[in-house]
Structure 1
Amino acid sequence: MTALPDWMRPPREEGWSADDLDHLPEAPRRTELIDGGGVVGQEEHRVGDLPQLDDASGPSYDARAELIDIGPDAIPALIGDLLLASEVCFSGSAYCFALARFGTHADAEILTAYLDRYLPRTDLRYDQHAALGALLRLDAHLGTHHADRFTRPDGLWDQWVDALPHLRGHPAYTPVERRRATDLQCDFANGWRRP
């Protein structure tokens, strides 16, 4: 995989600010800021551009996750590789959303592998919350129990939340709320599906 260009790396640990966008001459024209993460719009992309999207130096890493309408066989493995690598800040939530929408056992395995790798890392604020919500949704739809070992009392999920002072005790970071948030996103997307 190609190394990320310097302009894709946030200037500080907290992410990007709106002022930072004014100083990114190499960034594509449709670069936006969402929740502290730089996101490149994909109006310039078509499904036929997938080879270009496979290159980290291409215009948009997040574009893959937004191509979910092309079907579950097209890109889940690629999304899984990108999610597990976690090389682009704040892209993982979009990847988890796509995997939740695909809804297969293989997608649940990708999310489980991600949580196995990153949930023990209490020093990292990646997309663990999105991965857990997606996995809980898939467990409910597939009749599986992959998330159970993460969500046991005092288990890895509780340890990760408790290690981050701004999340400790926050009602949005319970497993029930993570699942609810993912369900809301997926239900909204399902309502906007093209005929």
Structure 2
Amino acid sequence: MKTKPNVLPAHNDCPQTTTTGNSRRRKAHRGIEMLSAMGWWSYAIIIVVCVLGMLFGLYIFGRSGSEASNLTQLATATQRAARTQAGFGTANLNTVLYNAGQIPNGWTYSSGTIYNQWNGTVTVTGKTSYFTITDTGIPSSECISIAQTLAAGGVANYLTVGGTKITPASDIATINTACGNANSSVNSTTKTIVMYVGALQ
């Protein structure tokens, strides 16, 4: 009795599992996830940059606002603490104001000299019937805001910025020209503001 040899199924008859399709789908899915993650990171970076820009703007605005406030406070204190029947005299009034406890917060005093927040000097000088406050070392980038506030504040009769007279009637173009461009190498990067307060002769 003859036995038939075992015949293995042909190669093409063997069951096969195809992984190519699944692999492609997994790769495509991973690609979409990566693009999605990159998109979220981009949004996050944009938000962080915007927040930092806003904080920087508030910081700059806060510094210029506090400087104008300090100058106004010092002018009011000088009218109250440094005036006698003979007027304001003709001397430097810094020490008088320091002894009266009238140096604004954020400024420092040392040996007769008042220093502002940028380490520029602030000098109050009597002119008999009026006085001047000279504030130096003010960055050009903050000069416009300070000058606008002081001119409209009603305490000073007028002020000068780099020698240019600024009054409540001065327009923004005049103030801008006086303060200069902080990004220009032609103009100085710091300015001096002088307030004139009192009965001008």
Shorter-chain TM-score bucket reads under 0.3
Q: Whose relative contact order is higher, 1 or 2, with alpha carbons under 8 Å and at least 6 apart?
A: 2
TM-score by length of 2: 0.26
Structure with the higher fraction of residues in helix conformation: 1
Give the TM-score normalised by the residue count of structure 1. Answer: 0.26
Higher relative strand content = 2
